[in-house]
Amino acid sequence: MNLNRRTFLTTSAGAMAAWLSPRGAMAAETGAGKRVGLIGCGWYGKTDLLRLLQVAPVNVVALCDPDRRMLEDAGEIVAGRQASKKKPRLHADFREMLREKDIDLAIVGTPDHWHALTAIGAMEAGADVYLQKPISVDVVEGKAILDTARKLGRVVQVGTQRRSTPHLIEAKERFVDSGKLGKVGHIEVFSYYQMRARGNPADAAPPAGLDWDLWCGPAPLRPFNPAIHPRGWRSFGEFSNGILGDMCIHMLDTARWMLGLGWPLRVTSSGGAWIDPGSVATVPDTQVAMFDFGTLNAVWTHRTWGTTPDRDFPWAAVLYGEKGTLKLSVQRYEFVPQGDGSPERKEVVMELDQYPEDANEKSLEKHVAPAIRRHMKDWLECVATRGKPVADIEQGHISSASCILANLSADLHRTLAWDPSTHQVTGDEEATRKLARAYRKPWAHPG
């Protein structure tokens, strides 16, 4: 990047301020010399890794992806970004990468169906892990990841970075923790983004350089379809938890964090492909779920069609309190007091002055980058102290499993009562059996 004097001074000042802050200083100290491996070199795998490189002088030693083109592209990008300018080792198979046992920090950015085996493998190889959400595609996988982290003493940060979003941290402190919102009696979480695959393209041969059998891994080996890869796999239940598992987890987790909620007592959901049944997608285009926490309910709604009721909050969590309403999104918050008071609002600050490289990074969600950087700093701080990060694996498991239970409720057409002490659906042997998906041989389920 060509930098003029003004840009250099601005960038240096911003970077210095970040590094001299207690959190930034800890991140720099902890990250110095740490060897990093990335498993899954797609959109968010690279997004997370490049944010880590912005906050700590780590050494990226290895990358892994069964798509050779994606892998080589990531290798060139990382070589251009990290201080050493060295290109990391490139691996198609994560087992080969981990066999070297030279990784201190592992980032898992694979499709959902690979999260459990890669995260557990990385922990067993000695690494602390940054794991994208949802942490698993079934509940038993999630429990296995949690148990492995606790058994081996690994620090696992889950990519539910709303917990590190600056304006949402401010909203929590100003309106929830202060009591200004009052007692909360109801939560709405929703997404009205049109993000489900449309059309019905024909199955095809995998593109050159893609090991499709390895990409599918423990999931069913279905024919390749261009709607699946790259970036379309969330529309397919074979490889993901659908839109509820992708989008609800963020906002449900935000509400749980804001209010200190644990497991829901009961979960119920219904939905289907009601508007676009001809799509190649295998997940619902319309779904509602209700999470009963005993003292309040959280209701999720998604539609991948039509319009959003509130253009400023198309994907959000809304907390309804006795003294007002608090709307929360990745872009902003808004507090509307009960009665005659004026609304209070805060927009995201994207930090482009401090990190000008964000401006031209392909596919980067610029408004989310600050939250990821703070999330990475929190992870590194906890790696140093061996403490629990803000999105510790247990919290990630609760939010992930709650969404998985909602999908299971929709499949079974009944409400599920959850017992976290036994990790079973109370009085429902069929639902309990379905807490673990079947794995394709020779892959073995970790539960």
What the chain holds in terms of domains, given with CATH numbers, is 5-162 (3.40.50.720), 168-359+398-433 (3.30.360.10)
Mean pLDDT computed over 429-446? 98
Give the closest residue to 204 by CA, choosing from 227, 180, 182, 188.
227
Query: How far apart are the C-alpha atoms of 422 and 404, rounded to whole Å?
Result: 17
Mean pLDDT computed over 184-213? 97
Span 350-408, pLDDT tens digits: 999 999 999 999 999 999 999 999 999 999 999 999 999 999 999 999 999 999 999 99
DSSP letter, residue 67 = B
User: Does residue 217 sit in helix, strand or coil?
Assistant: coil
Q: What percent of the chain has pLDDT above 90?
A: 92
Residue 422 scores a pLDDT above 50? yes
Query: How far apart are the C-alpha atoms of 184 and 323, rounded to whole Å?
Result: 9
The angle subtended at Cα 178 by Cα 173 and Cα 182, nearest 5°, is: 115
The rounded radius of gyration (Å) of the Cα atoms in the chain is: 21
Span 43-80, pLDDT tens digits: 999 999 999 999 999 999 999 999 999 999 999 999 99
Beta-carbon contacts of 38 under 8 Å, excluding residues fewer than 6 positions away, are: 45, 46, 48, 49, 60, 62, 63, 64, 74, 88, 106, 107, 109
Span 394-403, pLDDT tens digits: 999 999 999 9
* Res 8: pLDDT: 33
In order, the DSSP letters of 249-311 are: HHHHHHHHHHHT----SEEEEEEE--S-TTSS--S-SEEEEEEE-SS-EEEEEEESSS--S-T
Residue 95 scores a pLDDT above 60? yes
CA distances from 24 to 27, 160, 240, 373 (A): 5, 20, 34, 10
Residue pair 100/73 in contact by the 8 Å Cβ criterion:
no
Q: What percent of the chain has pLDDT above 70?
A: 94
